[in-house]
Amino acid sequence: MEQSKKECILSAATRAFSRFGFKKTSVDEIAKSAGVAKGTVYLAADTKEDLFYQAVHREVRAWTAELSKLIDPRVPADELLRKCAAAGLHYLRDRPLVRELLFGSHDVLLPEWSERLEELRDLGRSNALEILRLGVKQGVFRRDLDLDQVSQLLQDVTISTCLFHDRGPDRAARLARRADAAFDLLLNGLRSVRAKAKEHSAG
């Protein structure tokens, strides 16, 4: 199949799945939107489930590509983390397929695809991992950090922030305040400088 035709089908599938969800979207509707025969859709994907997975994968790739543009090795990594988190939250508001992937909703719909969906969540953490590695190289972050676990924690913070605060007329301000507080806590901890100095001297 020509790549341009497949891209047209995936684009139509992404729009339909984003608007109506997996269950309410039919392959017939996707074919009609893409301007192709139903059989042509099955040249791009073996099943409706496969088509859905490809649509989600497409959105995650677009998300990571967009955020990767913000990574400048000349900028301190802690600043990059904040900037990418803010951009990531903004992106999720308009990309329900990625948002629902992070929330775990797709796993409920397609439990047999859980392992592959987890791989997409891992792909979604790739920018955070790159920034963490950069931060270690810059001397901004500790060398003894388990970067994979920290990147998962950062993803968890993004998910919980979006899940509990992406609502109401002031949602943008709510998201920004919560994200700022979360990153301040992650980067600076709870203890005061005095408490840290006291612990250090006692050690």
Share of the chain above pLDDT 90, in %: 65
What mean pLDDT do residues 181-185 have? 82
What is the pLDDT, as a whole number, of residue 202?
Answer: 67
What is the pLDDT, as a whole number, of residue 179?
Answer: 78
* Digit-coded pLDDT (tens) for 149-175: 999 998 888 888 777 766 778 777 877
CATH homologous superfamily of 1-45 equals Homeodomain-like (1.10.10.60)
Q: How confident is the model at residue 27 (pLDDT cuts 50, 70, 90)?
A: very high
Q: Residues of 79-113 as b/e, b for ≥16 C-beta within 10 angstroms? A: ebbbbbbbbbbebbeebbbbbbbbbebbbeebeeb
What is the pLDDT, as a whole number, of residue 196?
Answer: 60
Average pLDDT of every residue of the chain? 89
Of 56, 117, 122, 64, the closest CA to residue 88 belongs to 64
What is the pLDDT, as a whole number, of residue 163?
Answer: 74
Two tokens, residue 11: 């684009």
Least confident segment among 85-94, 139-148, 167-176 = 167-176
What is the pLDDT, as a whole number, of residue 199?
Answer: 63
CATH homologous superfamily of 57-202 equals Tetracycline Repressor, domain 2 (1.10.357.10)
Q: How confident is the model at residue 43 (pLDDT cuts 50, 70, 90)?
A: very high
Ordered by start, the domain boundaries in the chain are 1-45, 57-202
Q: How confident is the model at residue 89 (pLDDT cuts 50, 70, 90)?
A: confident
Of 114, 89, 97, 78, the closest CA to residue 164 belongs to 89
